[in-house]
A and B are shown apart, each in its own frame.
Chain A
Amino acid sequence: MNWPVIAAEAALSVLVVALLAGDLVLPSRHRPRLWQLALGGLAALAAVLWWQRPWVGDMLTATVQTGSFMAGGASMFVLDPFAYYFKWLFVLTAALVVLLTRNDAKLLSTQVGEFYLLLYTALLGMLVLASVNDLLLLFIGLELLTFSAYVMTAYVKTDSKAVEAGMKYLILGSVSSGCLIYGVGLLYGAAGSTNFEVLRAVFSSGELPPLAQIGLLLILAGLGFKIAAVPFHLWAPDVYEGAPTPVVALLSVGSKMAGVVALLRVLYGIFLPAQAVWGGLLAVVSAATLFYGNLAAIPQTNIKRLLGYSSIGHAGYVLMGLSTATRFGAQTVGFYLLAYLFSNLAIFFVITLVSKAGGGDSLDEYNGLSRRSPLLAAAMFIGLSSLAGVPPLAGFAGKWFVLLATVQQGRMWLVAIGAVNVAISLYYYFMVVRRVYVLPARPASSGAGGAPATSTPIKVDGLNRLILFFLLGGILVIGTVQGPFLSVLSRVINF
């Protein structure tokens, strides 16, 4: 037994209980400040993660000695650099989501305490997922994350759209979970174990029996749902539109990253020799996902829905990197996710602030934003440009690397599709930029129900300013000084 390896997860479990207690004890007038408590908990978790450094084992050799947690004679849980790196990213995402909730008035008006509780359990799921070395644990981690997300999506019970979104997410999610567990079962049937090491040994020849092929396919379907890949993308736009913005941020960044982590673990950790089976499949799915996400984003009129489609498009690039089945390809996916995290979260901060000031998430709210708040306009411009892949921003380097990995692998048709989609995505991102910078603000009460004028300045308080500067600075630094990030990733993603 190697307890320090699961220290972070154990600590988070304790924190869940502590937060629950805190929520009960805290007088209701202090409720709006509960986010500080939630953030403090995450800081404590970060401290535990930092303390865990000596127990981080070597990649893939960390089976028996350091860095793994044994259960029933086989290691189910590993703490390798890959897991460790992504745990940090998950904690960072969760912290930013907590900070996002500050700006969400609708969310703060409800029982916000349980919301942080669910966020913690979702984070627990993601942390577990980063470390899985067993298909069953993978399922558990994923379900922990997804179940929390179901509830969080429908958290604002008075909002019928949110409830509808939650329902949709639940139904489609359950189907995909069913696929996943069925696939796990089939793989168990084919290999006689759910442990990654055993599976890797059994399938090391690269030949997959039909049973295992179907199992892998089903697992891919289940994980494809998580990252919103075509044809399992249907939930994304509705859920993005209906769910509270912090939840959308968590889904689009955290949940997607968790799905990719699981994909990397399964595809690269187990089935790398069998890449002939899944490489081409992922490439086709990637092409479809790219086209669907980017084309369907064009006519959108709601910023969150637009980002829902855009997140589908980005899943396409992630899949493109994964489809290379090369180590460099996997590293570029890691880089892409990092860029995506910073860019998307910056945009979500702007969305919460604009929605707080104006009321809605309609794209019309963004008309003339540059006159209401130059900072928010600049953040929106930089965030969207980064997503579109404009230098010197993070998204540019991410796209360049993913495309480079695909070129090296030799799938030129996929590169062409990826490149074309850069131009398509630029169009709808810049349609938003056009509203922000070019179009005049909507005059007072022209909209339905006498909405207030969208020309009043938006005040951005100090903390939000700081976070925005952090995120925008991150986008710029990742986009210009790519080397250090790539070299970290080359040590971390080293299958």
Chain B
Amino acid sequence: MMLTASSSSLLSLVLLAPAAASLLLCLVPSRQAAWVRRIAVLATGLSLAGALAIVWRYDRSLAGYQFEVVVPWISSLGISLHLGVDGIGAVLVLLHALCSFCGVLISYSIKDRVKEYYIFYLILITGVFGVFTSLDLFFFYFFYEMAVIPMYPLVGIWGSDVKEHGRVLYSKEYAAMKLTIYLTAGAVLALIGLLWLYAGSGLQTSDVVVLEHHFAFSPLPANVQHMIFPLLVLGFGVIAPMWPFHSWSPIGHAAAPSAVSMLHAGVLMKLGSYAIIRLAVSLMPEGARLWLPWLAGLCVMNIIYGGLVAMAQKDLKLIIGYSSSSHMGYVLLGIATLTPLGLNGAVLLMFAHGLMTALAFAIVGHVYDQTHTRYLPELGGLAKPLPFIATCGVMAAMASSGLPGFANFVAELLVILGAWDRYRLPAVLAVLGVVITSVYMLRLVRGTFFGPTNDSLPHAHDAATPFARLPYVILTVALLVVGCWPRPLIALIDVSTRPIINRAIQPAPALPQHPAVPEGAQ
């Protein structure tokens, strides 16, 4: 097929552009900060173009994995670099491309050790793209860890301490280390599950597509599924961030530089929910049936607890950090429903929340750069000096509260409708969560942009040039476009969630071991 031949290079482009750029940056002298920035913008711009093309050209009538690239890697172990996206992957690749491109633009405010910063940032970007596109257990984990580890230097070096009245609440080193240890501990838990999955299939392959076909006919024994499933959900749930393993996340967001928080809250957290859909729910339906109701219970804690804690915060980034953990509860709830509505909503919410959070962190970052404080009682009246930023801030707050017109509304609605069928009480509590969200979001907007001005603050400058406004415009427009016209994305997601749901809710056919499963084809 000509289409596949030309488009198979798209995923390679998306993945390789930031990877190549990070290697290239090692060779650029560190004095040439301008060139460093240009290379980073170019690389993420290429990835964004590729991601748009992928979403545009994904053939919905065919469904399944498309744009596949298979490079045999370790043939004796059945490990190959297998790239490919279905609708879920395509949407998340687009989300990540948008966030990383905007993140690179926002990173123009970084002045210290620019070259190292962008190298780490591009490794992080590569890792996330890798997770969303790889269809191989080995490379999935490979890229996952590759995305997690650069967070340490990024937060540790370029981050800022979380202060309250000038007193350091959490130092950036503490936040960075806590984040790294939590995520790695989760990752190794998931690693046990992944290795078990690999060994349990007995196929000597780590190819997710082959495993999907194989498990459709001869699933793992139920007791094994019951053990592997929680390993994967807990392991990847840490980054999601699932209550009660969420405590690294708000602190990490708060201490990270804005562009890193954007990626972190916008995209990195979605790695967890994506992994749960792609590996846990999709490969182990029996485990899903047993454990997902428990997950639903935890999500409610996420939504309510995260929301209540967010209400009590006074640091802008901590508010958004806790709100992220609260909103990711909806995503996990959507997954736990195991209904088409809920799962579609979950994926769309990953997209919408990613954009919204990235926008919110970019705005907070700008406010912090201008006023040197994120402490809510010290802020106020910034709508006057910062009309553009304030407008975007209000937009982000409205999106976060789930106002119609924004993508978040559609997504949260789907999740709650999906949940209503299966978990009544969690659905009701989730609606309550929306109210909590609007309380703290409105408080944040009022306290920052409106109300009395604090005269002791330095004079703040708005994002004035079109170039400086570009990231905000991209994110806001994307939120509005998807909010008003969600059909194309939902259709894209729907074709890919159906098979997962079908596998999960129908008991596996009692066929004997099928000899002609296409695993030999790889």
Contact = CB atoms under 8 A, between A and B. Distances in A.
A407 interface: yes
A403 B137 CA distance: 14
B188 A422 contact: yes
Nearest to A401: B77
B184 A422 contact: yes
Given A412-B196, A486-B76, A427 B181 contact: yes
Given A396-B145, A407-B195, A419-B191, A438 B157 contact: yes
Contacts of A482: 73-74
A407 B204 CA distance: 12
B142 A408 contact: no
Contact of A426 (B180, B198, B199): B180
A458 to B, nearest CB: 16
A438 B195 contact: no
A407 B156 contact: no
Nearest to A389: B145
B143 interface: yes
A205 to B, nearest CB: 29
Contacts, number: 92
Interface residues of B, number: 36
A437 B112 CA distance: 12
B126 to A, nearest CB: 9
Interface stretch (B146-154, B281-289, B378-386, B395-403): B146-154
Interface in A411-438: 412, 415-416, 419-420, 422-423, 426-427, 430-431, 433-434, 437-438
B76 A408 contact: no
B356 interface: no
Nearest to B172: A438
Given A419-B188, A434-B173, A404 B77 contact: yes
B198 A407 contact: yes
Q: What are the 6 closest A-B residue pairs judged by CB atoms, nearest first?
A: A419-B188, A407-B195, A438-B156, A423-B185, A483-B74, A391-B142
B54 to A, nearest CB: 24
Contacts of B142: 391-392, 396
A482 B75 CA distance: 10
A167 B146 CA distance: 43
A226 B89 CA distance: 49
A391 B147 CA distance: 9
Contact of A483 (B75, B113, B191): B75
A238 B76 CA distance: 41
Interface string B196-211: 1011000000000000
A374 interface: yes
Interface of B: 30, 72-77, 113, 116, 138, 141-143, 145-146, 149, 152-153, 156-157, 172-173, 176-177, 180-181, 184-185, 188-189, 191-192, 195-196, 198-199
Given A374-B30, A434-B156, A390 B188 contact: no
Interface in A362-377: 370, 374
A110 interface: no
A487 B152 contact: no
Contacts of B141: 391, 400
Contact of B152 (A433, A483, A490): A433
A385 B199 contact: no
B79 to A, nearest CB: 8
A482 B76 CA distance: 11
Given A374-B30, A419-B192, A426-B180, A391 B146 contact: yes
B177 A430 contact: yes
8 contacts: A400-B191, A407-B192, A407-B196, A422-B191, A433-B152, A437-B156, A438-B173, A483-B74
A205 B74 CA distance: 35
A408 B199 contact: yes
Given A391-B143, A419-B191, A487-B76, A400 B138 contact: yes
A426 B195 contact: no
A374 B31 CA distance: 13
A404 B199 contact: yes
Contact of A419 (B143, B149, B189): B189
B157 A437 contact: yes
A370 B181 CA distance: 22
Given A370-B157, A415-B195, 15 more contacts: A370-B113, A381-B153, A390-B149, A391-B142, A403-B195, A407-B196, A416-B192, A423-B184, A427-B177, A430-B152, A430-B177, A433-B156, A437-B156, A439-B173, A486-B74
Contacts of A422: 184, 188, 191
Which of B74, B113, B157, B181 lies at the interface centre, i.e. has the most chain A CB atoms within 10 A of its CB? B74
A434 B141 CA distance: 24
A109 to B, nearest CB: 36
Contacts of A400: 138, 141, 191
B347 to A, nearest CB: 26
A392 B127 CA distance: 10
Interface string A478-495: 000011001100100000
B143 A420 contact: no
Nearest to B145: A391
Contacts of B177: 427, 430-431, 434
Contacts of B153: 381, 433, 437-438
B176 to A, nearest CB: 8
Which of B145, B176, B180 lies at the interface centre, i.e. has the most chain A CB atoms within 10 A of its CB? B145
Contacts of A385: 149
Contacts of A439: 173
Contact of B73 (A374, A390, A404, A483): A483
A403 B191 contact: yes
Nearest to A484: B74
Contacts of A370: 113, 116, 157
A374 B180 contact: no
Contacts of B192: 403, 407, 412, 415-416, 419
A412 B196 CA distance: 8
Contacts of A437: 153, 156-157
Contacts of A391: 141-143, 145-146
Nearest to B19: A392
B270 to A, nearest CB: 20
A433 B151 CA distance: 13
A439 B173 CA distance: 9
Contacts of A415: 192, 195
A408 B200 CA distance: 8
Which of A370, A434, A486, A487 lies at the interface centre, i.e. has the most chain B CB atoms within 10 A of its CB? A434
B480 to A, nearest CB: 38
A407 B199 contact: yes
Interface in A457-495: 482-483, 486-487, 490
A321 B114 CA distance: 42
Contacts of B198: 404, 407
Given A434-B156, A483-B73, A404 B195 contact: yes
Contacts of B176: 434, 438
Contacts of A396: 142, 145
B137 to A, nearest CB: 10
Nearest to A331: B76
A93 to B, nearest CB: 26
B160 to A, nearest CB: 12
A273 B173 CA distance: 51
B59 to A, nearest CB: 32
A419 B184 CA distance: 10
Contacts of B157: 370, 437-438
B518 to A, nearest CB: 23
A380 to B, nearest CB: 12
Given A385-B149, A407-B195, A419-B192, A426 B184 contact: yes
Contacts of B152: 430, 433
Contacts of B76: 483, 486-487, 490
B184 to A, nearest CB: 5
Contacts of A374: 30, 116
A291 to B, nearest CB: 14
Which of B113, B185, B189, B191 lies at the interface centre, i.e. has the most chain A CB atoms within 10 A of its CB? B191
Contacts of B199: 404, 407-408
